[in-house]
Amino acid sequence: MNDILSQDEVDALLKGMKDGDVEAEPKEVPDDIRPYDLTSQERIIRGRMPGLENVNDRFARLLRVSLSNFIGKFIDITAQSVTLMKFGEFMRNVPLPSSINIFRLNPLKGYALLILEAPLVFAVVEYFFGGNGSGSVKTEGRNFTPVEQRLINKLLGMALSDLESAWNVITDVKTEFTGSETNPQFVNILSPIDVIIKVEFHIEMETFTGKLYLGIPYSLIEPLKEKLHSGITGENESVDNRWVDQLVQLLDDSLVNISVELDRTELSIAEILNLNKGDVITLGKSAGSELRLMVDGVLKFYCLAGSHKGSQAVKITGTINNNHNN
C-alpha cells in the first residue's frame, strides 16, 4: 500500500473531518509529559561543576584570612552549597533588609550579586568596635546607618578582591562594583525566569553564625562551562604564598600565655589538708637555679629569675628543641 496520500485522498479526508464522518479527537496525553515553551529561557543543566566548587573553596579561604585580619578575630568561612534556580525565586528568598551588592566579572558579560544578611553586617560592626557579637539589633524596617555602610564598603572591597583572585584560577577577570540595594524588589539584573547559580557561604565568629551569598547568572559563566564542569583549573599546585603570608601575619598577632615554673614537689593528701597560713614548702632548687618557662603549658625556654626596672622578671638562658627532651 502506498503510504503517500494522493491529492484526492487528502481532500476526501479533510471533507470527512469537517462533516464529522472521520473522528478527530486528540489522544489523552500521559501525565508524565508536559508542554515545553521553546521561547522559555530555561536551560537543562546536568551534573556538578567541580571547577566552580574549587573557586568557591578558594574564595572562602582567602576571605577567611582577610576578614579575620579586618576585625582582629579568627573567622571561619566555608562554602556550603551550590544551587541552580530561577532568578525570581532566588530574590524572593533574600531577607529584608540585606546588603545586595551588584558587580561585574569583566570581561564576562552580565552582572552578579554578593549578598550580606543584615545580622552578619551588625555582627561585623560590633566585632570591629570591640564587642562580642552577641548584641541584639532590630533589623526590620530600617536601613543601614552611615557607619554600617562604610564598613560594608570595606568588607565588599576585600570580598571582591578575594573573589577576583579565586576566579583567576579559571580565567583572568576583574571585579567591578556597580551598585547596591537593600530591597530585593529593586534588583533587576535578570528576568524572573532566567537561571542563576546560588552559592551559600557559612560564616562563624565566636558566638555568631551568619550567611553570605553569591548569585551568578548561568549565562555569565556559560562560556566557561567546559572548565567549570571538568574541574581543571590553572591553579598552581604549590602553596599560595599570599594566603600563607596573611596566615603568618594573623598568627604573629595572636596572644599566648606564658608562665614560669619554680619547681615541682610532692605532698601527701594529709599534708595538703594540714597546710595553714605561714607554712613553708621546701623546693629542691636553689635561688639561682634555672627555671622552666612555659608557653601555653608547653616547655619552651629555660630562664633565671631577677628584677628589671623595679619589676620581677626572667632572663632567657636557653631554648627547648621540641624534638628532644633536653
* CATH value at residue 106: 3.40.1550.10
What's the confidence (pLDDT) of residue 153?
Answer: 92
Q: At residue 32, does pLDDT exceed 70?
A: no
Question: Could you tell me the pLDDT band of residue 179, with boundaries at 50, 70 and 90?
Answer: very high
One domain for residues 320 and 180: no
One domain for residues 223 and 297: no
What's the confidence (pLDDT) of residue 39?
Answer: 46
One domain for residues 262 and 215: no
Q: At residue 44, does pLDDT exceed 80?
A: no
Question: Could you tell me the pLDDT band of residue 10, with boundaries at 50, 70 and 90?
Answer: confident
Provide the edge-to-edge strand list for the sheet that holds 174-181: 76-86, 195-205, 208-217, 112-117, 98-106, 174-181
One domain for residues 104 and 202: yes
Q: What is the DSSP string of 73-117?
A: S--EEEEEEEEEEEHHHHHHTS-SSEEEEEEEEETSSS-EEEEEE
What's the confidence (pLDDT) of residue 197?
Answer: 93
One domain for residues 201 and 303: no
What's the confidence (pLDDT) of residue 238?
Answer: 46
Residue 70: inside a domain, yes or no? yes
Peptide bond preceding 107 in cis form (omega within 30 of 0): yes
**207, 134 contact by CB (below 8 A):** yes
Total structural domains within the chain: 2
What's the confidence (pLDDT) of residue 46?
Answer: 54
Distance CA 163, CA 114 (A): 10
H-state helical runs in 234-312: 241-252, 269-273
Of 32 and 325, which is predicted with more confidence? 32
One domain for residues 86 and 224: yes
**110, 189 contact by CB (below 8 A):** yes
Residue 160: inside a domain, yes or no? yes
What's the confidence (pLDDT) of residue 214?
Answer: 95
Q: At residue 157, does pLDDT exceed 50?
A: yes
The chain-wide mean pLDDT, for the chain, equals 82
Of 239 and 22, which is predicted with more confidence? 22
Q: At residue 103, does pLDDT exceed 90?
A: yes
Residue 125: inside a domain, yes or no? yes
What's the confidence (pLDDT) of residue 237?
Answer: 44
What's the confidence (pLDDT) of residue 47?
Answer: 61
- Full-model pTM: 0.60
What digits encode the pLDDT tens for the residues 212-267?
Answer: 999 999 999 888 888 887 765 555 444 556 666 667 777 777 788 899 988 888 88
Return the top range by mean pLDDT from 33-42, 44-53, 118-127.
118-127
Domain of 308, CATH number, reads: 2.30.330.10
Residue 221: inside a domain, yes or no? yes
Which residues, 6+ apart, have CB-to-CB distance to 3 below 8 Å?
none
Phi, psi dihedrals of residue 246, rounded to the nearest 5°: -65, -40
One domain for residues 90 and 128: yes
One domain for residues 195 and 313: no
What's the confidence (pLDDT) of residue 49?
Answer: 82
What's the confidence (pLDDT) of residue 20?
Answer: 63
Grid coordinates of 175: 571585579
CA angle (100 as vertex; 218, 61 as ends), nearest 5 = 70
Question: Could you tell me the pLDDT band of residue 269, with boundaries at 50, 70 and 90?
Answer: very high
Full domain range(s) for residue 321: 254-267+285-325
Q: At residue 40, does pLDDT exceed 80?
A: no
Q: At residue 156, does pLDDT exceed 60?
A: yes
